[in-house]
């Protein structure tokens, strides 16, 4: 376990509460703290994967299929403002 990255051992790191846009639009599938639910993936540690920077996450929110994500992941291009997408992306990218 890497002490610099608290969740490296598999447990979510403690971090800031989610932005309201996440709670309203993402938590029902990805969990209140990004832990994942049922068939929906955990977002914990996602920023360690290739093409998952905050900028990538904003692009994913706009067009998930361009990242070859499951069709059940909807686009939020018209559902969230740019500021909301950025807040969600930065929060998700902060997970270790």
Contact 5, 57 (CB under 8 A): no
pLDDT at residue 70, as a whole number: 87
Cα(76)–Cα(70) distance, rounded to whole angstroms? 14
pLDDT of 10: 43
| Residues shown for the chain | 96
Residue 72: what pLDDT? 92
Q: State residue 1's pLDDT score.
A: 35
The confidence score (pLDDT) of residue 16 equals: 87
Calpha distance 22→80 (Å, rounded): 10
- Residue 96: per-residue pLDDT: 67
pLDDT-flagged residues of the chain (< 70): 1-14, 96
Angle, CA 19 vertex, CA 53 and CA 43 arms, to 5°: 45
Q: What is the pTM of this model?
A: 0.82
């Amino acid at each position: 376990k890497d002490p610099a990255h608290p969740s490296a051992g598999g447990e979510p790191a403690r971090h800031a509460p989610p932005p309201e846009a996440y709670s309203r639009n993402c938590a029902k599938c990805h969990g209140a703290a990004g832990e994942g639910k049922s068939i929906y993936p955990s977002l914990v540690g996602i920023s360690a994967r290739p093409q998952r920077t905050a900028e990538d996450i904003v692009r994913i929110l706009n067009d998930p299929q361009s990242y070859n994500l499951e069709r059940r992941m909807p686009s939020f291009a018209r559902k969230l403002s740019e500021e909301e997408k950025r807040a969600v992306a930065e929060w998700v990218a902060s997970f270790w």
